[in-house]
Amino acid sequence: MQRIVVIGAGHASGQLLDSLRRAGSEAHITLVGEESWLPYQRPPLSKKFLSGELTAERLAFRPESFYEKHQIHTRLSCRAVSIDRDIQTVSLAGGETLAYDLLALTTGTRVRELAIPGAELAGVHYLRGIDDALGLQADWQGRDNVCVIGGGFIGLEVAASARSLGKNVTVVEMMDRLMARAVSPGMSEYFLGLHTCNGAHVMCSTGVSELLGTDGRVSGVRLSDGREIPTDVVVVGIGVVPNQELAQEAGLACDNGILVDEFARTSDPKIVSAGDCTNHPNSLLGRRLRLESVHNALEQAKSAAASLMGEKLAYAQVPWFWSDQYNSKLQMVGLSEGFDRAVQRGNPEEDKFSLFYYRGDVLIAIDSVNCPGDHMVGKKLIASGVSPTPEQAADPDFALKSLLQP
């Protein structure tokens, strides 16, 4: 019987396992995960899970019975430490060795940590997994002041969750605007106003030089200009880095992620990789990139499963993302970097609008707030290479879907 080992228990592995069994694979499959949890949904961690609206059980990608029914063997709370490609084995931290015929790396990412004095103090949190969220929930009970370092998606979602619980929130962002790596200045301005109106104090163009402590617990944040902010809890959200070391040490090609082709195959024909840890080609965008996206993880995992089955399913899709902050849902399709014109559709003051991004006459991305219709048709427009004129995009009465072939 063929032996497949899957390292990493996140979105990509959950989809990979499902796809393999749906395709009729009868392989002996072993899933290795560092956390004690079976694959689960991560996006709610900074939102409804953190605010107490969702339980851990509801985050599960598949129930435990799925793994039992499909005879998927699990090694949870277990870390893979090395891969020997010559004899096709994976060594685990506890000393166990797993033999494989085919291997899947869905190792994801890890948080980028602060490298400043005081970063080791109690009360300083990162948010990547369920246990992180549970720790933060428990720690801010009975504590009023929260400082969020980092004004990206995770930081702002945590800030919104904290405000919904009545916490006093300060967001400190080093760059000159919020979510600067992901959205345009216009969208940054909207979300600055949204957080300010909801009672958060936002400080952009501000660095952090030190975390201050009292009796081993964080009590303040010293800013780069010398000012100090008293706080009870610090949440750090300054990005992630791909978990590529295991692959790199095994001699697989890596460059800001594990290098794969459009079929999720690595430089070793017996090893595939999928999800946030991969650097992959996108034929629609005409370049290689690494994406941190649920959609990317799920769809690329389907290509990886096909490759494990000896088939070919090219991964070539328009990237899309989302973020929930207060009552505003930001939905993004395409990548807006390099745009030279932004066209507004709708009214930000009504918390319902979209920004259409053009490079020349070509529509390359759409960011929408509370406009799911624009987002859905935008996916089809960009994937089809169809660009409305800027005048059509700006006119809320113009039916964008009329541009698509029936």
Question: What single-letter amino acid sits at 311?
Answer: E
| Mean pLDDT across 309-327 | 95
Strands (E) across 106-182 are located at 109-111, 124-126, 145-149, 168-172
Rg (CA), the chain: 22
Q: Is 24 exposed, middle or buried (0-12, 13-18, 19+ CB in 10 A)?
A: exposed
- Cα distances (angstroms) measured from residue 210 to each of 114, 224, 234, 403: 10, 8, 12, 54
Order across the sheet with 278-282: list the strands: 258-259, 278-282, 287-289
Question: What single-letter amino acid sits at 181?
Answer: R
The full DSSP string for 25-82 is ---EEEEE-SSSS-SB--GGGGTTTTTTSS-GGGGBSS-HHHHHHTTEEEE-S--EEE
Sorting pLDDT into bands at 50, 70 and 90, what band is 283?
Answer: confident
Q: Is 361 exposed, middle or buried (0-12, 13-18, 19+ CB in 10 A)?
A: exposed
| Contact status, residue 297 vs residue 276, Cβ threshold 8 Å | yes
Categorise residue 399: left if φ over 0, alpha if ψ from -120 to 50, beta otherwise. beta
| Contact status, residue 187 vs residue 355, Cβ threshold 8 Å | yes
- pLDDT more than 90, % of the chain: 96
Q: How far apart are CA 90 and CA 80, in angstroms?
A: 7
pLDDT tens for each residue of 337-392: 999 999 999 999 999 999 999 999 999 999 999 999 999 999 999 999 999 999 99
Cross-strand pairs, 112? none
pLDDT tens for each residue of 112-168: 999 999 999 999 999 999 999 999 999 999 999 999 999 999 999 999 999 999 999
Q: How far apart are CA 280 and CA 262, in angstroms?
A: 7
Which sign, positive or negative, has the C-alpha torsion 8, 14, 20, 21? positive
Sorting pLDDT into bands at 50, 70 and 90, what band is 41?
Answer: very high
Sorting pLDDT into bands at 50, 70 and 90, what band is 285?
Answer: confident
Q: How far apart are CA 144 and CA 133, in angstroms?
A: 17
Q: What is the pLDDT of residue 286?
A: 87
Q: What is the pLDDT of residue 47?
A: 93
| Mean pLDDT across 273-287 | 93
- In this structure, the strands spanning 168-172 and 145-149 are parallel
Q: Count of H helices and E strands in the chain?
A: 9, 26
- Cα distances (angstroms) measured from residue 42 to each of 24, 34, 46, 56: 28, 15, 8, 10
**pTM: predicted TM-score of the whole model, two decimal places:** 0.95
Q: What is the pLDDT of residue 28?
A: 98
Q: What is the pLDDT of residue 346?
A: 97
pLDDT tens for each residue of 190-205: 999 999 999 999 999 9
Cβ within 8 Å of residue 336, ≥6 positions away:
183, 184, 357, 364, 365, 367
pLDDT tens for each residue of 83-123: 999 999 999 998 999 999 999 999 999 999 999 999 999 99
Q: What is the pLDDT of residue 147?
A: 98
- In this structure, the strands spanning 287-289 and 278-282 are antiparallel
Q: How far apart are the first and last CA of the chain?
A: 47
The two structure tokens encoding residue 355: 């920004």
For the chain, domains (ranges, CATH) are: 3-110+241-308 (3.50.50.60), 113-236 (3.50.50.60), 327-403 (3.30.390.30)
Q: Which of 211, 246, 280, 322 is CA-nearest to residue 85?
A: 246
* Residue 102 DSSP SS3: strand
